[in-house]
Amino acid sequence: MKIGVIGLGTVGKSVLNILSNEKNRLNKEIGDIEVVKICDLKDNGITGYDFTDDYKEIINDPKIDTVVELIGGVKVAYEISKIVLASKKNLVTANKHLLAVYGNELFSLAEENNVKLQYEASIGGGIPVVGPIKENLFLNDFKNIRGILNGTCNYILTKMEEGMSYSKALEDAQNKGYAEADPTFDVKGIDTAHKINLLAHLAWGNLKEFSEISIAGIDTLTKEDIEIAKSKGLRYKLLGEANFDGKELTVRVAPMAVKKDELLYSVNGVYNAVELEGNYTGKTVFYGEGAGGDATATAVISDIYKIKLGG
Ligand code: HSE
């Protein structure tokens, strides 16, 4: 398998490190994964790879069969993704923004070209959730989905409840590599909206028009709101929720006060959780680290693994 990696930020660097650290194990499990070329606007001092600052060198390289796209934003990522899929290369992406907006077109393009579009890393960082919904729970009619889907916001809310200021907690989350390049996507609930929209697509096969999603972030919450909730045994969590009544899909994001006896109450720090209710399985909950380089990189590599196995 010959891959090209575009985007060498927190997740991209972790992908290269883990592929290198686990080379022997990966070789034994799935065979050789050769990183043919890596790309970013600047090389960030990464050595030992063929580096380019021009992504076209990767997407037009006939040796590369799978492109790993780990850049933020949609404009360039959309161009890259279309060309990659149309030229019959597989695409692995962590870009929830891209898929929440252009998913319908890109999923169809992958199908038409008989290549894989894998996106486990785009929801819930290191938590396996895309694969299990697609492959294990697919027979269910889902009633609803809700989740804590942004590690940065959950980290900030947890730290604020412990007494830290909003700005210090956000700075911490940025230093730990949890936040988006533009953290307003995190705190204003937009990142959560991208992820819950993708989950809705997994459950019911359709994406909501993004402008129709009702979105409120944690930036409207004050320290007093959090203290009052605490005194009542409640905890604010930024939740993404999706419901389908058989006719209409409703998707919304808002900070909501969660009771002590709910599972989501105990999901703290960078941890995320996704709850789904299916007619056969009842309630299923996925829990784990929702952001950060290494956790998210394992999801990217699991997608490479699936492509290699033909899944
Ligand atoms: N900024 C995102 C978060 C990264 O904090 O959850 C993972 O998608």
Measured CA to CA in angstroms, residue 187 lies from 134, 199, 268 at distances of: 29, 20, 16
Strand order in the sheet with 66-69: 51-52, 34-39, 2-6, 66-69, 90-93, 117-118
Residue span(s) of the chain under CATH 3.40.50.720 come to 2-126+293-308
Termini Cα distance of the chain: 14
Pocket test for ligand 1, best of 157, 159, 186 (most atoms within 8 A of CB): 186
Give the position, in ligand 1's atom list, of the atom nearest the Cα of 291.
Answer: 7
Q: Whose CA is nearest to atom 4 of ligand 1?
A: 291
Catalytic status, residue 89: no
Counting from 1 in the atom list of ligand 1, the atom nearest the Cα of 178 is 5
Q: How confident is the model at residue 311 (pLDDT cuts 50, 70, 90)?
A: low
pLDDT higher than 90, residue 8: yes
Give dist(CA 75, CA 87) in Å, integer: 19
Alpha carbon 2 to its chain's center: 23
Q: Is 152 in the pocket of ligand 1 (CB under 6 A)?
A: yes
Ligand 1 geometric centre to CA of 296 (Å): 9
Domain 139-288 class?
alpha beta
Rounded mean pLDDT, 266-270: 98
- The CATH H-level (homologous superfamily) assignment of domain 2-126+293-308 is NAD(P)-binding Rossmann-like Domain (3.40.50.720)
Rounded Cα distance between 249 and 297, Å, is: 31
- C-alpha angle with apex 29: 26 to 34, nearest 5 degrees? 40
CATH 3.30.360.10 in the chain, residue ranges: 139-288
- Alpha helices by DSSP H, listed for 54-150, are 56-59, 75-86, 96-112, 130-131
Pocket test for ligand 1, best of 191, 237, 294 (most atoms within 8 A of CB): 191
Of 151, 305, 163, 311, whose CA–CA distance to 237 is shortest? 151
Give 42-69 as a DSSP string.
S-TT--SS-EES-THHHHT-TT--EEEE
The pTM of the whole model exceeds 0.95: yes
Per-residue pLDDT of 104-130, as tens digits, reads 999 999 999 999 999 999 999 999 999
24's tokens? 């022997």
pLDDT at 156: 98
Give residue 30 CA to ligand 1 midpoint distance, Å.
29
- Mean pLDDT within 25-30: 90
Q: Is the CB of residue 180 below 6 angstroms from any atom belonging to ligand 1?
A: yes
The residues with which 282 forms a beta bridge, in sequence order, are 278
Question: Residues 235-259: pLDDT tens digits?
Answer: 999 999 999 999 999 999 999 999 9
Q: Which atom of ligand 1 is nearest to the CA of 155?
A: 5
* Pocket flag, ligand 1, residue 150 (CB < 6 Å): yes
Helix axes 293-308, 10-21, angle to 10 degrees: 60
Which position among 89, 195, 237, 306 bears the catalytic label?
A: 195
Q: Please provide residue 124's backbone torsions phi and psi, each rounded to the nearest 5 degrees.
A: 70, 25
> What is the DSSP pairing of strand 34-39 with strand 51-52?
parallel
Does 292 sit in the ligand 1 pocket, CB within 6 Å? Answer: no
Of the candidates 237, 241, 124, which has an alpha carbon nearest to the alpha carbon of residue 178? Answer: 124
Q: Are 251 and 200 in contact (CB under 8 A)?
A: yes
Which atom of ligand 1 is the closest one to the Cα of 296? 7
